[in-house]
Amino acid sequence: MIAPSILSADFARLADELAAIHGADWVHVDVMDAHFVPNLTLGLPIVESLLKVTDIPMDCHLMIEDPDRWAIAYAEAGAHNVTVHIEAAKDPIKLARDLRAAGSKAGLSIKPGTPIEPYLDVLKEYDTLLVMSVEPGFGGQSFIAHVLDKVRTVRNLVDTGHLNLLVEIDGGINSDTIEQAAEAGVDCFVAGSAVYGAADPARAIEALRTQAVSANHRFA
């Protein structure tokens, strides 16, 4: 799965930028509040507007304080997947259940420096694990390869039936890094500049997908 990130899109032309990524599996929307991360992007009103102009399932990544209070509204608005950070959630198990009850998938994200092991039981409540392969806050950063150890840990638990979730990765994903992420066991790849920096975003999506599928088959 390829999920282009509109953080790298032209914010003055968001409807057109969504139309340009036909063939994408999800559209990744980074919500930042300038508190949990040192950047401010967009919020619920813009997400609600975007939902009206695309049929691509929306993957909302909430890099915000107090997601227990704010996340449910994104599910109620119609987001397909709503991801919160384990570092910010006060009651992640209740939050996952509330997100599902409000109509979305529940995603849990983890920063590069946060260990995964303390949260393996929590992940039983979630549909998606989003492993950050850059520090959250800004696009265009370099890929942090050591986070793939977390991917491998969770991939093994999924493959052996101990967890049932989709493994997503976000940060620095491009033609140079997607194969190693696929080899580690990633299911869904968030790509910003690798898609929106291309002359033909739809073709870039398919090229990335081809690389990921090839790497997955090669190392399966």
pLDDT reading at 220 higher than 60:
no
Residue 31 CB partners (closer than 8 Å, separation 6+): 41, 42, 43, 47, 60, 61, 62, 63, 64, 74
Of all residues in the chain, the percent with pLDDT exceeding 70 is: 98
Give just the sign of the alpha carbon dihedral 128, 132, 136, 142. negative
Which tens digits make up the pLDDT trace of 62-109?
A: 999 999 999 999 999 999 999 999 999 999 999 999 999 999 999 999
pLDDT reading at 46 higher than 80:
yes
As annotated, the active-site residues are 30, 170
Which tens digits make up the pLDDT trace of 100-142?
A: 999 999 999 999 999 999 999 999 999 999 999 999 877 667 8
What band does 205 get if pLDDT is binned at 50, 70 and 90?
Answer: very high
Are 57 and 1 in contact by the 8 Å Cβ rule? The answer is no
Rounded mean pLDDT of 156-182?
96
**CA 180 to each of CA 47, 94, 211, 213, 219: distance values in angstroms, whole numbers, following the listed order:** 32, 34, 10, 11, 10
Q: What is the pLDDT of residue 216?
A: 74
Are 128 and 83 in contact by the 8 Å Cβ rule? The answer is yes
Q: What is the pLDDT of residue 139?
A: 66
